[in-house]
Structure 1
Amino acid sequence: MKGVLLVNLGSPESPTPKDVKPYLDEFLMDKYVIDVPYLLRALLVRGIILQTRPKKSAAAYAKIWWDEGSPLVVISKRMHQKVQKQVELPVALAMRYGNPSILSGLQELRDKGVTEVLLFPLYPQHAMASTTTILVLAEELRKKHFPEMQLTTVPAFYNKPDYLKNLADSMQKHLEGFDYDHLLFSYHGIPERHIRKTDITKSHCKIDGSCCNTPSPAHEFCYRHQCYETTKQVVKLLGIPEGKYSQTFQSRLAGDKWLTPYTDVEVNKMPEKGIKKLAVVTPAFVSDCLETLEEIAMEANHEFKAHGGEEFLAIPCLNDDQQWCNTVSKWINDWAYAK
């Protein structure tokens, strides 16, 4: 029997330092997120970051928290329910960090008699710190607890026409009536070394401005290429002229060279370039979360206006948009009934 496990990032149980600390510990101690040797990672995370970050992060989560709970988890549950209504297979929901866990999701499916699982990471672009860590953990859990199960993975869908149309249509709907000067595509940042580590050719990714546009097998797992490709295809669908849009990367940690240009730096420079009305979309996420609701809709909005900007529009993620849920359901049904 077939079943599906949708997997998103996850969230603390509450916006308090007490609950944020174990969540951050699980997240930052992941060797695919901070990819340094264990002892160094433990020193960095538990010796330095977790001494101050939980309080600061809890305050940020408190600003976006809904009555029903974490926005990311609430939205993921709504999407899950809409998808389940359109498919006959059992569909479970899990988070990579926090609850519901991948272990509980696989257990739920096994309890329903599922032996063949479609593992569906809810990330349009492939990255070591998002997709890879889900695949590795799911396989470890399968081997240990569910050896009879088979896992099939949904690959990055950044270039799937259905997804691109959903994204473009959603953006167009939210941009209606907003006469923007500039549209910014802001993707979650990752360290440059992650790009090189996921280069299956071991030689293509130079991060030099040309490699992402030069065809290569490396692009199958190259986050940077996939982000630029998403932007390129959406811009084409919406007919946005050159010069009226750009792409940046947000949410970096200090110390390493991360993908550039940086969202906060670029946003702050825009008003002096004559950009007074800015729209920002965050296509690395399918569900609104701390990085979109607090970092962009609140912080970037505030900074943009503090530097002379006038109007700021944070375009919501696809969330539980019916068109998007229809697409996910269609992909699941295509897999379920494939010969």
Structure 2
Amino acid sequence: MSQKSNNNKYGVLLVNLGTPDEASPAAVKRFLSEFLHDQRVVDLTRWLWCPILHGVILPVRSPKVAKLYQSVWMDEGSPLMVYSRRQQKQLGAKLGIQVELGMTYGNPSILSGLDSLKQQGCDRVLVLPLYPQYSRTTTAAVFDKVAKVLKQRAEIPELRFVNQYFDHPDYISALAGSVTDFWNKHGKPDYLLCSYHGIPKRYADNGDPYPEHCNGTTALLADALDMPREKMSMSYQSIFGREEWLKPYTDKTIEELAKKGVKRLDVMCPAFSVDCLETLEEIAEQCKEIFLEAGGKEFNLIPCLNDNPAHINMMAALVEQHCQGW
């Protein structure tokens, strides 16, 4: 897709959650503070939540989380940032249009991405949050941030927004292709588990369609892989706090599978567009340990789609679909 003229140019703003600038306690504290202040993420009353956040959570968790980031940090930086930059570059090259990157929290900011598109002459912008399954905690938080930062501008661009793509044929095909490629190299497992990032159950009870989207992706993927459902299921990871979250929990599910006699378990994380702390450390390290200690023999993390060509092609298809008429 190429621009027809320099007038009414359009560009794409890719958005992901964000990551600390470096794997240090101070940088992690800054990032977590911004993230956990967002009422889309934690909707507790501010006078109750803020003292807990600043008095307990940030001082205690920041050094611990920094050590976890250090264990997965790449030569070029945080895995989430490294893969997101590769996606940005490759999508721009494929489409021949301006593609910028913005993070809901941290750097580069959504504002900097929108400003860069404006400087490149783009007065039409497609916002593409890299969350296949919609949630108020992720996709809606992007919408909020875009609206907030544009309040500072006298002139705003014409905007279009990708709400979700959990059942997009090219997304399901890319997931199935990545699994098949992995199995062609390593053989098939006894069981395949799809682990999605969790959200509080209360959010779903109040209308967040996220679990329906996760169920939809899992069912379509099972069909694409021709995988018997007794050998494949889904669960939710990254549980935080004491409140009940969507179940089943990934760590408990993995333990139960090992105790039931599953010897080789493969896990994939369809809600994550790139590998990050939650996949490379929480799944590949913590959950692997849980599985082996419970009697399992082999545990594999199937990588996220990252900058896989099929993933870039899927993004390009989304852009072409949503930019029709531009």
The size of the alignment, in residue pairs, is 317
Shift of 1:146: 5.5
CA distance in 2, matches of 1:93, 1:51: 30
Distance in 1 (alpha carbons) for counterparts of 2:197 and 2:92: 29
Corresponding residue for 2:250? 263
In the superposition, the TM-score normalised over structure 2's length comes to: 0.94
Which blocks of at least 5 consecutive residues in structure 1 are unaligned? 200-220
What amino acid is the match of 1:249? Y
Deviations for 1:86-127, whole angstroms, at most 9, x for unmatched residues?
Answer: 113211111111111001000101111111110000000001
Cα distance in 2, alignment partners of residues 335 and 29 from structure 1: 31
The one of 241, 253, 262 equivalent to 2:228 is 241
Given that 2:162 and 2:322 are in contact with CA atoms closer than 8 Å, whether structure 1 keeps it comes out as: no
For residues 162-181 of structure 1, what are the structure 2 equivalents within 5 Å?
162-176=170-184, 177-181=186-190
Alignment of 1:319-334 (within 5 A): 319-334=306-321
254-263 vs 42-51, which moves further: 42-51
* Counterpart selection for 1:36 from 44, 49, 60: 44
- 8 Å contact from structure 2 (residues 10, 123) kept in 1: yes
Query: Taking structure 1 as the reference length, what is the TM-score of the superposition?
Result: 0.91
Residue aligning to 2:6: none
> 1:27 is matched with which residue: 20, 35, 44?
35
- Kindly indicate whether residue 237 of structure 2 is the aligned counterpart of residue 250 of structure 1: yes
Matched, 1:71 2:79: yes
Aligned-pair distance for 1:337?
4.2
Question: Are residue 94 (structure 1) and residue 81 (structure 2) matched?
Answer: no
CA distance in 2, matches of 1:85, 1:303: 42
Q: Which consecutive residues of structure 2, in runs of 5 or more, have no partner in the other structure?
A: 1-8
The structure 1 residue matched to 2:286, chosen from 268, 293, 299, is 299
- Give, in angstroms, the shift of residue 330 of structure 1: 2.5
Matches within 5 A, 1:60-139: 60-139=68-147
1:48 to partner: Cα distance: 1.5
In structure 1, the residue matched to 2:3 is: none
Q: 1:284 to 1:146 in 2, by over 3 A?
A: farther
Pairwise CA RMSD of aligned residues? 1.2
- SS at structure 2 position matched to 1:248: strand
Structure 2 residue matching 1:231: 3-state secondary structure: helix
Query: Letter of the aligned partner of 1:255 in structure 2?
Result: R
Q: Secondary structure at the match of 1:99?
A: coil
Decide whether the 8 Å contact of 2:84 with 2:306 is kept in 1: yes
Name the counterpart of 1:216: none
Who is 1:3 aligned against? 11
Identity of aligned residues (%): 39
Partner of 1:18: 26
